[in-house]
Chains A and B, each alone.
Chain A
Amino acid sequence: MTRRRQAFPALLERLRPECEAIVARYEQKHSALLPIMHVFQQHEGFVSPEAIGAVAKMLELTPAVVESTVSFYTLFFRKPVGKYVVQVCRGLACTINGAEDVMRMFREKIGVGHLETTADGLISYEEVECLAACDRATCGQVNLEYVYDLDEKQIDALLAAIRAGTYAAAPMAQTEKPERTWSVSQGASVANGGKSPGARGVQSPDNAGGIGDRSGVIMLDRIVDLGPSFYGATHERAVRESRDVVELVEEENAHANR
Chain B
Amino acid sequence: MPIVKVLTDGIGEADLHLIDVYRKRGGYEQWKRALTAMKPADVLEYADKSGLRGRGGAGFPTGKKWSFLPSNGKPRYLVCNSDEAEPGTFKDRMLIENAPHLVLEGMLLGAYGIGSHHAFIYIRGEFKEGYRIFAQALDEARAAGFVGKNVLGSGYDLEVTVHRGAGAYICGEETALLNSLEGKRGEPRLKPPFPAVEGLYSMPTIMNNVETLAYLVPILARGWEWFAGAGTERSKGFKIVSVSGHVQKPGNYEIPLGTTVRELIEIAGGLRPGRALKAVQPGGGSSACIFEEQLDLPYDYESLAKAGTMLGSGAVVVFDDSTDFVKAAYNLIRFFAHESCGQCTPCREGGHWLERVLERFVEGRGIQGDLEMLHRISSSITGINLCPLGDSIEPFLKSVLVRFRDQFEARIMKEPA
Contact = CB atoms under 8 A, between A and B. Distances in A.
A203 B85 CA distance: 32
Interface string B160-174: 010111111100000
Interface stretch (A68-76, A157-165, A228-236, A237-245): A68-76
A194 to B, nearest CB: 12
Contact of B181 (A31, A75, A133): A31
A93 B84 contact: no
Contact of A135 (B87, B124, B251, B327): B251
Interface stretch (B64-72, B293-301, B331-339): B331-339
B375 interface: no
Nearest to B325: A96
B273 interface: no
A97 B166 contact: no
Contacts of B84: 132
A205 B349 contact: yes
A72 B90 contact: no
A34 B319 contact: no
A28 B201 contact: yes
Nearest to A203: B367
A96 B246 contact: yes
Given A72-B185, A137-B250, A92 B317 contact: yes
Nearest to A133: B90
Contacts of A141: 126
A32 B180 CA distance: 10
Contacts of A59: 183
A38 B85 CA distance: 20
Contacts of B281: 92
Q: Which of A130, A131, A146 has the most CB of B within 10 A?
A: A130
Chain A contact-residue range equals 35 or more
Nearest to A32: B183
A128 B166 CA distance: 13
Contacts of A92: 87-88, 281, 285, 317, 328, 331-332, 335
B55 interface: no
Interface in A72-127: 72-76, 90-93, 95-97
A73 B186 contact: yes
Contacts of A69: 183-185
Given A30-B182, A73-B186, A96-B246, A134 B335 contact: no
Contacts of A68: 185
A33 B92 CA distance: 25
Nearest to B284: A130
B245 A129 contact: no
Interface of A: 25-28, 30-35, 37-38, 59, 68-69, 72-76, 90-93, 95-97, 128-137, 141, 144-146, 199, 203-205, 208
Q: Which 5 A-B pairs have the closest CB atoms?
A: A33-B183, A75-B167, A134-B244, A73-B166, A74-B167
17 contacts: A25-B161, A30-B183, A31-B182, A34-B183, A38-B164, A69-B184, A69-B185, A75-B166, A95-B327, A129-B85, A130-B86, A132-B84, A134-B244, A135-B90, A135-B244, A137-B244, A203-B367
Given A130-B335, A134-B89, 9 more contacts: A26-B161, A73-B186, A91-B88, A93-B244, A93-B317, A132-B85, A132-B90, A205-B349, A205-B350
